[in-house]
Amino acid sequence: MNHRQEGQSVPQVNFRTRNIDAWQDISTDEVFADKTVAVFSLPGAFTPTCSSSHVPRYNQLADVFKAHGVDDIVCLSVNDAFVMNEWQSQQQAWNIRFLPDGNGEFTEQMGMLVDKEDLGFGRRSWRYSMLVKNGVIEKLFVENEEPGDPYSVSDADTMLEYLAPEAPKPLDATVFTRKGCAFCSQAKKALDVAGIPYEELVLHEDFTDRSLRAVAGRATFPQVFISGEHIGGAEDLDRWLRGRQAA
């Protein structure tokens, strides 16, 4: 793949976007000039890896990126503005700027436009990410040329490792709760005070008792999981947080 390299400028194009009910052209300079921008480009909106991993993790880590000098995070795809806007809404990814490259102009000039006709996609973007400073590519992560849709170096964690290798990795927290549960409120407050963002899953809305027993081995509330570790209930969480502070 003969693509642009680190040290080169990004292509000069106009992105055709849709703002509420009006078309708006946004130039390359408006996106990149006098800014540090993390860009990740992917094969298509609503596709599995893009929706389950690529977008959510960049959205989750947006504050961490900004703390290390990134002004904007851009998601780029060879899709039209309507599709990109709907995808952003469905993902609730408001920390990311979604740019439609509907005609593939930016992607083609990057040297990343590839044939996906076997999937019925036509021509789409290869998966890659880059850190762009004032319109110049400082760092470029391009997935290996191999069959399928490789996803190993263009992810948010790889970019964060480049930006801040010594920075502690953000924690992933999920709290299984039920409505009216005082201990659940206690656990959520403790996470808030500790500055640990979390996802809340509510009984009978997001899961069933059986699901909770299957993953936690318990059916009491709350049940807290942090970065793959089952912490337990509110008191267990308090002990875990005290231990973390003492470490």
**pLDDT by residue for the chain (247 residues), tens digit each?**
799 999 999 999 999 999 988 999 999 999 999 999 999 999 999 999 999 899 999 999 999 999 999 999 999 999 999 999 999 999 999 999 999 999 999 999 999 999 988 888 899 999 999 999 999 999 999 999 888 889 999 999 999 999 999 888 788 999 999 999 999 999 999 999 999 989 999 999 999 999 999 999 999 999 999 999 999 999 999 999 999 988 7
Domain assignment of residue 2, yes or no: no
Residues 235 and 195 in one domain: yes
Structure tokens belonging to residue 31: 């996106």
Please indicate, yes or no, if residue 247 is contained in any of the structural domains. Answer: no
Whether 236 and 114 map to the same domain: the answer is no
Instruction: Clarify whether residues 89 and 178 are in a common domain.
Output: no
Question: Does residue 180 fall inside a structural domain?
Answer: yes
User: Is 218 found in the same domain as 192?
Assistant: yes
Q: What is the CATH number of the domain that holds 187?
A: 3.40.30.10
Report how far residue 94's alpha carbon sits from residue 130's, in angstroms, rounded to the nearest whole number: 20
List CB contacts of 148: < 8 A, sequence separation 6 or more. Answer: none
Q: Backbone phi, then psi, for 191, in 5-degree steps?
A: -65, -40
Q: Does one domain contain both 27 and 136?
A: yes
Same domain, 69 and 136: yes
Residues 132 and 72 in one domain: yes
Question: How many folded domains does the chain comprise?
Answer: 2
Q: What is the DSSP letter of 207?
A: B
Would you give the DSSP letter of residue 168? P
Q: Is residue 9 part of a domain?
A: no
Instruction: State which amino acid sits at residue 122.
Output: G
Q: How far apart are CA 61 and CA 53, in angstroms?
A: 12
Structure tokens at 92: 């609730």
Domain that holds residue 116: 14-163
Tell me which of 110, 144, 163 is where a domain ends.
163
Say if residue 68 is in the same domain as residue 180. no
Q: Is residue 210 part of a domain?
A: yes
Identify whether residues 47 and 112 lie together within a single domain.
yes
Is residue 207, in this structure, part of any structural domain at all?
A: yes
Kindly state whether residue 7 falls inside one of the protein's structural domains.
no
The string of DSSP codes covering 2-19 is ----TTSBPP--EEEEEE
pLDDT tens profile 172-201: 999 999 999 999 999 999 999 999 989 999
Cα–Cα distance between 156 and 242 in angstroms, integer?
29
201 inside domain: yes
Catalytic residue numbers, as ranges = 50
Whether residue 155 sits in one domain with residue 87: yes
Task: Report d(CA 24, CA 26) in Å as an integer.
Answer: 6
How does 161-195 read in b/e, with b if 16+ C-beta sit within 10 Å? eebeeeeeebebbbbbbbeebebbebbbebbeeee
Write down which residue in 163, 188, 211 finishes a domain.
163
- 35 lies in the same domain as 150: yes
Residue 140 token pair: 């470029």
- Can you tell me the distance from the alpha carbon of 192 to that of 147, in angstroms, rounded to the nearest whole number? 43
| Positive/negative CA dihedral, 141, 154, 191, 91 | positive
Q: Is 24 in contact with 110 (CB distance < 8 Å)? A: no
Judgement on whether residues 54 and 122 belong to the same structural domain of the protein: yes
